[in-house]
Amino acid sequence: MNVGLIFSIANAGIIPFWLLLIVAPGWRGTQLLVHSIAIPLILGLTYFWLFASPFIMGPPLPEGGSFFSLTGVMTLFQSPVALTAGWIHYLVFDLFVGAWETRDATRRGFPHWLLIVCLVVTLMVGPIGLMLYLLLRAALGKGGLSLSET
């Protein structure tokens, strides 16, 4: 298995979906591709396959790797398979947040040019982008800091 190739495909392959959110958020194709189960399902299955492959096919994960300590996570991510799975985890969740921001912004009449800034920040540093979107939304009177639909 060429983990580097999987990493590169996932990393570059997510960009068109971000571009759809930025340039064509209301287009039917964006609705079908980004706001549906398609991309999370594809990336989720890739993530699951990478996550499970060391247990099924090897190579084993580094000894001492775990999710329960900083040292354990650092050790775990010495494995290219685990690191790629972790990166895909980020890609899936950041795109999910960006898609939510887009739907929420459309519903609330949030200015699209400001949403673009938030989407780019969310793509690069997910939680900061979400925080920026919520703060701008509140500052513009387009909703509070809550993630709820109201």
Q: Which pLDDT tens digit goes with each residue over 106-141?
A: 999 999 999 999 999 999 999 999 999 999 999 999
Q: Is the dihedral of CA 96, 97, 98, 101 positive or negative?
A: positive
Closest CA to 89 of 50, 143, 124, 121: 50
Q: Which pLDDT tens digit goes with each residue over 32-74?
A: 888 888 888 888 888 888 878 776 676 667 788 777 899 988 9
121 secondary structure, DSSP code: H
How far is Cα 108 from Cα 142, in angstroms, rounded to an integer? Answer: 6
3-state secondary structure of 25: coil
Q: Which pLDDT tens digit goes with each residue over 26-35?
A: 999 998 888 8
How large a percentage of the chain has pLDDT more than 70? Answer: 93
pLDDT band at 149 (very low <50, low <70, confident <90, very high): low
